[in-house]
Structures are given as structure tokens and as C-alpha cells.
């Protein structure tokens, strides 16, 4: 890791001397040439050009002219990410330089495509998902900036592990409350007051990742040391099964009562992977996967909506399934959209992504795939992969296990979510309703993912600021 | 912890690999299949929203796409819609486009394979993709003359340049206005379509090439005579007994000549006389003498029973096989189960006109890419050589005689030798006749071969003849070519 040596020299004066006050630290950090931040600044300019360019191009493509007022959308994004960049210079100078540019591009592409679908649907003002998306983007970035300023040391979060658990479970179950709970497109995942709706489960995944990290760091020994050996693998004692049973139960509650396959899979997958990374026991994975597959098989038998999803997945082109309400119509239309895009796409603003239901939220990937082609999908997947790999770096290079686990958990939750959504629309797995991180229309998802990005930035800054004394493994 | 992390990283990589593969499979490998799915409306919208190329006749546009402000972006407009409807067809939502709109749809919409490079360039240069333009062989003057000459009759006219096979006119009546069908609203389309389709006069049918086939009547004698002479067993002067009625073998039916008398005053009638006066009895005997298999052989060479695309699909004409003797005799003057298209009869005249060589009929002169580079150009192509040039000149002589001194007198044009043959086909007891003329002019250097069919006895039931109704129409078409 070549950056590490420079990170050390850049970070050394601050850590070595007596603890500086906030103002001196600002002065020092502004004076010390922040190579990483300069890299970030350069990449960020490119990212802003891509985002602004896409927003302008969808206009040009769909209407033949560029409405200058729409360009203010991209100005909001550009301006705020620059504010975030300069904040990082002060409060997290050694943070990873790739994370912010990557999510800027993704968020910008998302806004562009959502605006494009608005154009096709002839909606404007607050009805327009694009306007709402830009407002949410603004809020999400401001919250992310606040997060990174507020949380100066991630270890603070470890103290709140059990509060996080409580918050996470409340957020998860909130939509099931009467009065405020809302059912949208068959899934009860939203809370709403008036026309304002929010999907608390998105924030729940952060809280749960924090809880899992904190809990597993303290409980890993009992979870990994003791147990019975069966077929060369150590299986946990019955009394250590408690946590996995609780999480499994929570996932099944989501699956049955909130009718959401994706979220259920996401939480359970997150827990399993963090458990495995913490304990190093493959037996946990085997146990967990067996439980989930068992649960899913039972659900496939008992829950008609799960069965319908599976049928649509396996036999999407069957006219009978295609024509049933809740059948494979949307899936197949999405495939048509992707195929229409082909290798190089129709060009921004020149496709017909609006033909697919929910083109701006669940189906943002087929929409982008239609207009940007396979090339565009590959680029987007590569950006996600890069983002995730930056998160995993924290896991590899971090010093404290809580930080490492949290970094891995937060990155993995993005990876799993991308896989569940894109895998769903491309028929790798049955279709489930999850948002595509940073791209899809949806405020809760934006806020949650920007907070995840802020936490990863914070963690990566800490990693680089620490002298690497011991290298594990 | 790092060992586990590496494994998790591998799992994430595998997950993403699956996504890379699945998107490649959908967008590239299965792309064509998904685009071809009938439920994929994108393909349809696409074919609308690219600027479809125009259809051009004699330098002027008869079908073009004009920009409009609905989701399909362009509206297909047909000038002289009814005049050209059988040729152009119409461009609709239901994708079953008839005529040139259907047959050359890929070129017009710009999706033909040889337009791929063009489209790629237009993506790079930022131009909107555009379809190719199609230039037809139709001569607007001849088309209009044929259309007007047919008047309010039900029927069809086909005119071909015998030397190239270029189709100069193709009229089918009654016609329809393709503008009424090229609408974007499905309900409006079906309203127009169902009304036209329910009409008893069947305006949507292109009678020239793809209608219900017609009994050829006496125009079929051209094929029997050609077969007889070309086979070398007979000459134009070969004679047959000349009674006023003839009892068909194995039956109690009698056949008669159309004059209800003998075929000329002589005791024996020659092939020449029988063709000139269009007598049935000598031809019944001739057909029996030549034999079904020989006639069938020649009919096939003239195009009967063969697949033909001009590039509109042409219904193959029928010469039946395995006939008993009386049926063979009836079929020898174009009755029984002989069934033809007007184009087929024009092809017979065309082959005789062109010294026995039949050129493949074609409607398309050129297909031009938007940058005017030719994608396709008509190269005259030999379809077959049904008869020798000697037979052809004999047949020409007989057909000139038919117009000058015989049954086809109404096709006479001053100062030019016209070769022709009329036909008056029976369609059963009480049913109106089908009236025919086919021929070519000038006989010494043929510029045009024509076939005219008029249904429903031209409005006269069973009391009219090909010479009275069809020949004058053909004459006007021939004149339109000759007077250019």
C-alpha cells in the first residue's frame, strides 16, 4: 500500500505531539499538503462533470433542448459534495479519496435518470421524483457531513452497541405500527405522515451493523472457542445460538409481516457475514444458510407473494405468469429494456425506460442499462465494486476489531444490496424490492447510504492515522 | 480475521461476476431474441420513432414520415394513397404491414443488416438514425393511366417492361386510403381496418398478385399453344376437326365455341385460326393431344406454382395435375381448375415479347441509404426461358393477328402492332364472367407487356367479353407507355 507511508508522515505530527486544540489542528491540516485530498479533489471534479453532463444530456436527449433550471439540480449536488470535500480536508484529511467521487457519480447518474423518467411522464414540481431526489440528496449530504464532523472517533459507536440494537429493531418494526405504517406496492416497509413517507429499515441496517460489530467484538470468543466438533467443523453450543436465532426470527418477521424478501435477506446476510468474519467459523455460515434456505422454502410454500416471485423468476416468459397481476410483467419489461440498450445503449434520454413500472426506483438499473447499455452497467458495477473494496480495505488494514468489523459490515451491506437488486432485475435471483444504493429514487435509502459512506470515510481516516504496529494473519 | 475477509471478498467478487455475466447475457447474447418478443413494444415504438425512409415513384414521394408531436414522433403520410395502396401497403401498429412497407420494412426503418454501419456512423456523428428510401420501378403516368382506365370496375392491371422485368404499373381496384390505416391509435386503426375488411368488395386485397386467383379463360390458350409449338409436335398450321359442338368423353356435357358456331368456315381449324378467333373446341382437342404433363411443364416454366417475391409475395398460379380427359380438355381453354394471378398472365406475355426469355418481375428500382449511397439496385434477372425465340416469334405473329384481325380488336392502336389475347372466363352457372386481356406492344420492339382482369363481367354479368371491357383498358395502358 504505497499511500500508507505518506499517510503516516502526513498524520504523524498530529498524533506525535501534545494533543492540539481544534483550531490548531485546522491550521495544521490545511498547511500540511493533503495528497489524498488533492487526489479526491481531482476525481471529484471529474465526477461532477459526469453528473452534470448526464443531467444535461438526458434533457437534450429527451426534449432536444437543455432547460437551464434543471441544471440547478446538478449545482446542488456539485456544491454540496465540494463542501463535503473541504470538510474532509479539515476533519478527516486521511480519509479514502475514492469513496466520495464514486458516490457522487452514482448519485448524479441516478438523478439524471430519474429526471429523464420524469420527462417521459411529464411531471414537474413536487410530483417529480427528480426534484424530490435532489432535495433528498441535499439532505443526505448534509447529514453525511454532520456525521463525519460529529463522529470524530468511531470507537464512540461501540459504546452504543445495545442502544443501536434497540434503535435498529424499532426502526425495523416501525412500519408495522398502525396509523403511521404504510403499505406501498405490497410491502409494508414505510412510515408516513401526510404525503411524507420514509423507509426506516434503510437506517435500521446501519444501526444493526453497529450493533453486530459491537456485540460480536465482545462475544466472539464464546462464539468461536467453544463448541462440538462434527465432521471436522466446530458447531456452537446450543446456548450460544441465541443471537442467531433472534436475528433469524427478526428476518422472518420482516419476510412474513412486512412482505419483503429483500430486506429480510439483507439483514440476515449481513449478520451471517459479520459473524463469520468475527469468529472465523464456517459452521456459522452453514448453520445460517441452512436456516435461511429452510425458512425460504417454507415461505415459498406458505406465502403466495414469495411463491409468485419465485415462479416469475423461473418462468418469466410464460404468458400465464406474465399476465397475472403481480406476475413477471415488470421483470420481463425490464429485460426488454436492457436488451433494447444492447452493448452501447440508446443514449441518455433516448430510450424508453418509462415503459417499465417503477423505472425510477426498483428498476433504475434497467433504465440506466437501456440508455447507457452494457458498457454503462459494467461501469456502474465497477464503481460499486471499487466502493466496496475501499470498505474492505478498512477491514484488512484497520487496527481495532470493532472498526474493522464495522467497515466490513457496512461495505458488505452495500454489496449484498447491489447483488439482491441487480441480481433480481437480471434474473440471477428472484426479484425483491430493494433500492439500488445511491442510484434509485428514495430519500431514506439516500440518507442511509450517505451515512454509510460518511462512516467509511471516518473509519478509513482512522486507519491511516494509526501507526501500523501489529499486522495480523 | 484477514483469512475470513479474503473469503468474503471472494464471495463478493463471485456475486458481482454473476451480475456481469447476467447483464451480458441479457443485453448482448439474448438481445436479439428479447427484441423480437412480440410483447416488447420498444421494437414497435422504435420502428415508429426513427424517421422511416420515403417510398419514391418517378422522382416524387408517395409515402413519407412527417414529424409529429406524439410519442411515435413521426406520422406516415401517403400522397395519392388510393392510387398506390396495393404497392405501398400501409404502416401500422400491428406490425403486419402489407406492400412495400412490409416487404422492405427493415430497409425503410433502417434496421436492415447492411445499414448497420450507417447507423453506427450516425450514432458517432450524433445524427438521428434514419431509414433508407425505396425507389420503385412504377411509372407514375402508366400507373395513373391504368388506375383511370379501370374506372369503377373491380379488377387489376399489371404492366411490365418485358426486357427488364420492371413493373411499370400495378393497380388493384377497389382500392383504399392507406392514410386511414397508418394511424397511431389502435382503436382508430381497427375501426378502419374492420370496416375495410368487412367490405364485400375486399379493397384490402391486392388483386394483381395476391387476391383470390382467377380463372384465366382464353388467355390460358397462350400457354397451351406455346407448349404445342415449342414441343415441336405441332406448328401454327396444325389443324383439328371443327365441329360447332363437341361432346366431352366420359360425360354427357358438350362444349361450344364462344361464337356458338364453328371456328371459321373450314372443315378443319388451325391453331392459328383457333387462337385468332379464340375457339374452345380446337384447343380442347389440342390440349388433349399435347398432354397434361407437357402443358404442366410449360406452365411451370412460365411461373405457375412457383414462389415469387417482387419483393411482395405473389400467390402462385395453379395448373392442376392428375386431371381426367374431359377436365384436361376444359382446362386447355382456361376453365376447370386453372387459376391465375394477373401478374402471372403479364409474365406469359412478357416472355413471349422478350423472345422467349422471362425476366423476373420486380417493383424495386433502388434502395438508397440516407446518405444516398445505394444499398440495393435492380439488376434485371432471368426468371426462366420457357420457350425458344422461334416459338416466341410465332406466338407474337399469332397474337398480332388476334388484335389486327381477330377477337382482340379493341386493343388496336394506330401505327403500332399490338400483340394480344382476350379471355372471357366462366365462373359457374349464372355467375358473371371474368374478363381478360393480356398482350404487349410494340410487337417488333416490345416496351410493355400488360395483363388486365375485370371481375363481375364488367357489370354486364354473362353478356360481355374480354374484348369489350378488358381490351380497351389495356389499350390505354399500352398507349400511356408508348406516348411517353
Q: At what angle do helices A68-91 and A99-121 cross, to 10 degrees?
A: 160
Residue with cell 390505354: B476
Q: Which residue is closest to B24 within chain A, CA to CA?
A: A374
Do B34 and A422 lie within an 8 Å CB cutoff? no
Phi, psi angles (nearest 5°) of residue A178: -70, 170
Nearest to A374 among B7, B15, B27 (CB): B27
Residue B130 predicted with pLDDT over 80: no
Residue B160 banded pLDDT, cuts 50, 70, 90: very high
Q: B-chain residues within 8 Å CB-CB of A384?
A: 16
pLDDT band at A298 (very low <50, low <70, confident <90, very high): confident
CA A257 to chain centre: 23
Q: Which three cell numbers stand for residue B110?
A: 433502417
CB of B254 less than 8 A from some CB of A? no
Binary contact (A426, B15; C-beta < 8 A): no
Contacts of A337 in chain B (CB under 8 A): 42
CB of B19 less than 8 A from some CB of A: yes
Which sign, positive or negative, has the C-alpha torsion B118, B121, B123, B129? negative
Residues of chain A with Cβ-Cβ distance to B11 below 8 Å are 273
A473/B123 CB distance under 8 A: no
Q: Is the pLDDT of residue B18 over 90?
A: yes
Residue in B2, B11, B24 closest to A374 by CB: B24
- Alpha carbon distance A33, A28 (integer Å): 9
* Domains present along chain B, CATH in parentheses: 217-364+380-482 (3.40.710.10)
What mean pLDDT, rounded, does chain B reach? Answer: 89
Give the one of A347, A369, A395 whose C-beta lies nearest to B23's C-beta.
A369
- pLDDT-based confidence at residue B48 (cuts at 50, 70, 90): low
- Dihedral sign for Cα atoms in the order A190, A191, A192, A196: negative
Contacts of B107 (CB under 8 A, 6+ apart): B53, B115, B131, B132, B134, B367, B375, B376
pLDDT at A149: 93
Q: Give the position of cell 471534479.
A: A45
A373/B27 touch (CB, cutoff 8 Å), yes or no: yes
Nearest neighbour of B3 by CB, restricted to A280, A332, A427: A280
User: Which chain B residues contact residue A404 at CB under 8 A?
Assistant: 1
Contact B19 A385 (CB under 8 A): no
Closest alpha carbon within chain B to A422: B19
Q: Which of B3, B12, B32, B124 to mutate to test the interface with A (most CBs of A within 10 A)?
A: B12
Q: Are the C-beta atoms of A470 and A301 separated by less than 8 Å? A: no
Highest mean pLDDT among A198-212, B188-202, B440-454: B440-454
What's phi and psi for A337, nearest 5 deg?
-60, -45
Query: Residue B9 and residue A389: Cβ atoms within 8 Å?
Result: yes
**How open is the CA angle A471-B4-B6, to the nearest 5 degrees?**
80
User: Are A421 and A362 a contacting pair, CB within 8 Å?
Assistant: yes
Q: Where are the beta strands (DSSP E) in A227-266?
A: 228-230, 233-235
Check CB contact under 8 Å for B42 and A336: yes
Say how many residues make up chain B: 484
Place of cell 452493448: A343
Say whether residue B3 is in contact with chain A using an 8 A CB cutoff. Answer: yes
Contact partners, residue B10, CB within 8 Å, separation at least 6: none
C-alpha cell at A297: 422454502
- Chain B closest-CA separation from residue A181 CA (Å): 33
Residue B106: predicted pLDDT = 80
Most confident of A99-113, A147-161, A261-275: A99-113
Using a CB-CB cut-off of 8 Å, the residues of chain B touching A401 are 1
B133, B175, B192, B218: which is the annotated catalytic residue? B218
Classify strands B239-241 and A181-184 as parallel, antiparallel or unpaired.
unpaired
Is residue B49 annotated as a catalytic residue, yes or no?
A: no
Interface test with A, best of B1, B9, B69, B70 (most A CBs within 10 A): B1
Give me the residues paired with residue B157 across strands: B171, B452
Percent of chain A with pLDDT over 90: 33
A339 and B3: CB-CB below 8 Å?
A: no
Residue A12 reports pLDDT greater than 50: no
**B42:A352 CB<8 A:** yes
Residues of B in contact with A343 (CB under 8 A): 27-28
Closest residue in chain B to residue A378, using alpha carbons only: B20
CA-nearest of B97, B108, B154 to B312 is B97
Q: Select the residue of A273, A343, A428 nearest B18 (Cβ to Cβ).
A: A428
Query: A443-456 burial, b if ≥16 CB within 10 A, otherwise e?
Result: bbbbbbbbbbbbbb
Q: A319-343, pLDDT tens digit by residue?
A: 888 888 778 888 899 999 999 888 8
Q: Is B39 within 8 Å of A332 when comparing Cβ atoms?
A: yes
A33 pLDDT higher than 70: no
Residue of A nearest to B1 (CA): A277
pLDDT band per the 50, 70, 90 thresholds, residue B433: very high
d(CA A235, CA A261): 28
Closest by CA to B303, choosing from B243, B385, B364, is B385
Average pLDDT, chain A: 84
Q: Verify whether the Cβ–Cβ distance B2 to A338 is below 8 Å.
A: no
Under the banding of pLDDT at 50, 70 and 90, the label for residue A194 is low
Contact B40 A473 (CB under 8 A): no
CB-based contacts of A79: which residues, under 8 Å, 6+ apart?
A: none
pLDDT over 50 (residue A4): no
Whole-angstrom Cα distance, residue A67 to residue A60?
Answer: 9
Give the tens place of pLDDT for each residue, B214-267.
Answer: 999 999 999 999 999 999 999 999 999 999 899 988 888 889 888 888 888 888
Q: What is the pTM of this model?
A: 0.64
* CA-wise closest residue to A378 among A388, A368, A387: A368
Distance CA A201, CA B145 (A): 77
- Average pLDDT for B187-196: 88
Decide if B35 touches A, using CB distance below 8 A.
yes
Residue A15 has pLDDT above 70, yes or no: no
> CA A415, CA A409: separation in Å to the nearest integer?
10
Contact A378 B30 (CB under 8 A): no
- Which one of A266, A285, A340 would you mutate to disrupt binding with B, by most B Cβ within 10 Å of its Cβ? A340
The Cα of A315 is separated from the nearest Cα of chain B by a number of Å equal to: 15
Q: Is B125 on the interface with A (CB under 8 A)?
A: no
Residue B250's alpha-carbon distances to B114, B201, B242, B247, B285, in angstroms, are 60, 39, 20, 9, 15
Rounded to whole angstroms, what are the CA distances from A297 to A293, A294, A303, A447, B217?
Answer: 6, 5, 10, 33, 74
Minimum-distance CB partner of A339 among B1, B34, B45: B34
Confidence of residue A372 (pLDDT cuts 50, 70, 90): very high
d(CA B417, CA B396): 10
Contact: A336, B40; criterion CB under 8 Å:
yes
Q: Select from B27, B28, B122, B128 the residue whose CB has the most chain A CBs within 10 Å, as the one to mutate to test that interface.
A: B27
| Yes or no, beta carbons of A341 and B9 under 8 Å apart | no
CA-nearest residue of chain B to A63? B69
Amino acid at each position: 500500500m504505497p499511500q500508507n507511508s505518506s499517510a503516516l508522515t502526513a498524520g504523524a505530527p498530529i498524533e506525535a505531539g501534545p494533543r492540539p486544540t481544534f483550531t490548531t489542528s485546522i491550521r495544521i491540516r490545511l498547511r500540511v499538503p493533503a495528497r489524498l485530498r488533492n487526489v479526491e479533489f481531482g476525481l471529484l471534479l471529474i465526477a461532477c462533470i459526469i453528473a452534470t453532463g448526464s443531467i444535461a444530456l438526458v434533457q437534450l436527449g429527451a426534449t432536444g433542448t437543455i432547460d437551464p433550471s434543471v441544471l440547478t439540480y446538478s449545482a446542488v449536488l456539485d456544491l454540496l459534495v465540494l463542501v463535503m470535500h473541504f470538510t474532509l480536508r479539515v476533519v478527516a484529511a486521511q480519509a479514502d479519496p475514492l469513496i466520495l467521487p464514486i458516490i457522487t457519480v452514482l448519485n448524479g447518474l441516478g438523478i439524471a435518470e430519474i429526471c429523464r423518467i420524469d420527462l417521459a411522464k411529464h411531471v414537474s414540481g413536487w410530483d417529480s421524483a427528480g426534484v424530490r431526489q435532489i432535495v433528498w440528496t441535499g439532505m443526505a449530504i448534509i447529514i453525511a457531513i454532520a456525521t463525519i464532523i460529529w463522529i470524530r472517533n468511531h470507537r464512540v459507536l461501540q459504546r452504543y452497541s445495545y442502544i443501536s440494537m434497540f434503535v435498529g429493531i424499532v426502526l425495523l418494526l416501525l412500519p408495522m405500527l398502525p396509523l403511521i405504517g404504510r403499505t406501498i406496492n405490497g410491502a409494508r416497509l414505510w412510515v408516513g405522515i401526510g404525503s411524507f413517507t420514509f423507509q426506516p429499515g434503510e437506517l435500521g441496517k446501519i444501526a444493526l451493523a453497529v450493533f453486530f460489530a459491537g456485540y460480536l467484538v465482545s462475544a466472539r470468543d464464546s462464539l468461536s472457542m467453544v463448541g462440538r466438533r462434527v465432521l471436522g467443523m466446530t458447531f456452537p453450543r446450543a446456548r450460544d445460538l441465541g443471537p442467531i436465532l433472534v436475528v433469524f426470527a427478526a428476518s422472518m418477521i420482516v419476510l412474513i409481516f412486512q412482505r419483503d424478501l429483500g430486506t429480510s435477506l439483507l439483514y440476515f446476510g449481513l449478520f451471517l457475514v459479520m459473524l463469520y468474519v468475527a469468529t472465523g467459523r464456517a459452521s456459522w455460515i452453514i448453520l445460517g444458510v441452512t436456516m435461511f434456505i429452510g425458512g425460504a422454502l417454507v415461505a415459498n410454500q406458505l406465502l403466495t407473494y414469495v411463491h409468485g416471485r419465485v415462479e416469475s423468476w423461473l418462468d418469466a416468459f410464460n404468458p400465464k405468469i406474465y399476465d397475472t397481476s403481480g406476475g413477471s410483467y415488470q421483470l420481463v419489461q425490464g429485460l426488454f429494456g436492457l436488451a433494447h440498450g444492447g452493448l452501447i445503449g440508446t443514449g441518455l434520454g433516448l430510450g424508453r425506460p418509462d415503459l417499465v413500472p417503477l423505472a425510477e426506483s426498483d428498476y433504475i438499473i434497467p433504465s440506466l442499462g437501456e440508455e447507457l447499455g452494457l458498457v454503462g452497467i459494467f461501469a456502474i458495477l465497477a464503481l460499486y465494486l471499487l466502493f466496496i473494496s475501499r470498505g474492505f480495505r478498512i477491514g484488512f488494514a484497520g487496527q481495532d476489531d470493532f472498526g474493522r468489523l464495522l467497515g466490513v459490515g457496512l461495505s458488505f451491506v452495500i454489496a449484498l444490496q447491489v447483488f439482491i437488486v441487480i441480481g433480481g432485475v437480471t434474473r440471477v435471483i428472484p426479484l425483491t424490492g430493494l433500492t439500488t444504493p445511491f442510484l434509485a429514487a428514495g430519500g431514506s435509502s439516500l440518507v442511509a447510504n450517505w451515512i454509510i459512506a460518511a462512516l467509511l470515510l471516518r473509519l478509513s481516516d482512522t486507519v491511516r492515522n494509526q501507526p501500523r504496529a501489529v499486522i495480523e494473519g | 480475521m484477514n483469512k475470513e475477509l479474503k473469503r468474503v471478498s471472494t464471495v463478493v467478487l463471485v456475486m458481482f461476476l454473476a451480475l456481469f455475466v447476467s447483464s451480458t447475457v441479457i443485453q448482448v447474447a439474448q438481445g436479439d431474441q428479447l427484441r423480437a418478443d412480440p410483447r416488447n413494444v420498444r421494437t414497435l415504438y422504435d420502428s415508429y420513432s426513427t424517421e422511416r425512409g420515403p417510398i419514391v415513384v418517378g422522382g416524387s414521394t408517395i409515402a413519407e414520415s412527417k414529424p409529429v408531436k406524439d410519442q411515435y414522433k413521426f406520422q406516415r403520410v401517403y400522397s395519392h394513397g388510393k392510387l398506390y395502396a396495393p404497392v405501398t401497403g400501409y404502416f401500422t401498429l400491428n406490425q403486419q404491414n402489407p406492400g412495400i412497407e412490409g416487404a422492405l420494412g427493415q430497409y425503410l426503418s433502417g434496421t436492415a443488416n447492411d445499414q448497420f454501419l450507417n447507423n453506427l456512423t450516425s450514432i458517432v456523428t450524433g445524427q438521428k438514425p434514419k431509414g433508407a428510401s425505396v425507389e420503385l420501378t412504377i411509372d407514375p403516368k402508366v400507373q395513373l393511366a391504368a388506375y383511370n382506365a379501370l374506372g369503377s370496375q373491380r379488377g387489376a392491371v399489371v404492366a411490365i417492361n418485358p426486357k427488364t422485368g420492371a413493373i411499370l404499373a400495378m393497380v388493384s381496384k377497389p382500392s383504399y386510403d392507406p392514410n386511414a390505416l397508418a394511424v397511431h391509435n389502435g382503436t382508430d386503426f381497427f375501426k378502419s381496418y374492420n370496416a375495410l375488411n368487412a367490405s364485400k368488395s375486399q379493397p384490402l386485397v391486392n388483386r394483381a398478385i395476391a387476391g383470390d386467383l382467377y380463372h384465366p379463360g382464353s388467355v390460358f390458350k397462350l400457354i397451351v399453344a406455346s407448349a404445342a409449338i415449342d414441343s415441336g409436335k405441332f406448328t401454327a398450321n396444325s389443324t383439328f376437326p371443327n365441329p360447332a359442338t363437341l361432346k366431352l368423353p366420359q360425360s354427357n356435357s358438350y362444349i361450344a365455341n364462344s361464337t356458338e358456331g364453328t371456328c371459321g368456315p373450314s372443315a378443319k381449324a388451325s391453331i392459328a385460326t383457333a387462337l385468332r378467333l379464340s375457339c374452345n373446341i380446337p384447343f380442347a382437342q389440342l390440349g388433349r393431344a399435347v398432354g397434361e404433363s407437357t402443358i404442366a411443364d410449360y406452365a411451370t416454366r412460365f411461373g405457375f406454382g412457383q414462389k415469387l417475391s417482387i419483393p411482395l409475395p405473389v400467390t402462385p398460379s395453379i395448373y392442376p395435375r392428375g386431371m381426367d380427359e374431359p377436365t384436361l380438355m376444359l382446362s386447355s381453354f382456361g376453365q376447370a381448375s386453372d387459376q391465375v394471378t394477373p401478374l402471372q398472365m403479364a409474365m406469359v406475355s412478357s416472355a413471349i415479347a422478350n423472345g422467349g426469355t422471362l425476366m423476373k418481375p420486380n417493383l424495386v428500382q433502388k434502395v438508397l441509404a440516407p446518405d444516398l449511397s445505394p444499398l440495393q439496385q435492380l439488376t434485371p434477372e432471368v426468371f426462366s426461358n420457357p420457350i425458344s425465340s422461334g416459338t416466341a416469334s410465332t406466338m407474337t405473329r399469332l397474337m398480332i393477328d388476334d388484335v389486327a384481325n381477330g377477337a382482340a380488336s379493341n386493343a388496336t392502336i394506330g401505327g403500332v402492332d399490338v400483340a394480344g389475347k382476350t379471355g372471357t372466363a366462366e365462373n359457374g352457372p349464372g355467375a358473371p364472367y371474368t374478363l381478360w386481356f393480356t398482350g404487349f406492344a410494340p410487337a417488333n420492339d416490345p416496351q410493355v407487356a400488360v395483363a388486365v382482369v375485370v371481375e363481375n363481367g364488367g357489370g354486364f354479368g354473362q353478356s360481355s367479353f374480354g374484348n369489350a371491357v378488358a381490351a380497351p383498358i389495356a389499350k390505354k395502358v399500352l398507349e400511356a407507355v408508348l406516348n411517353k
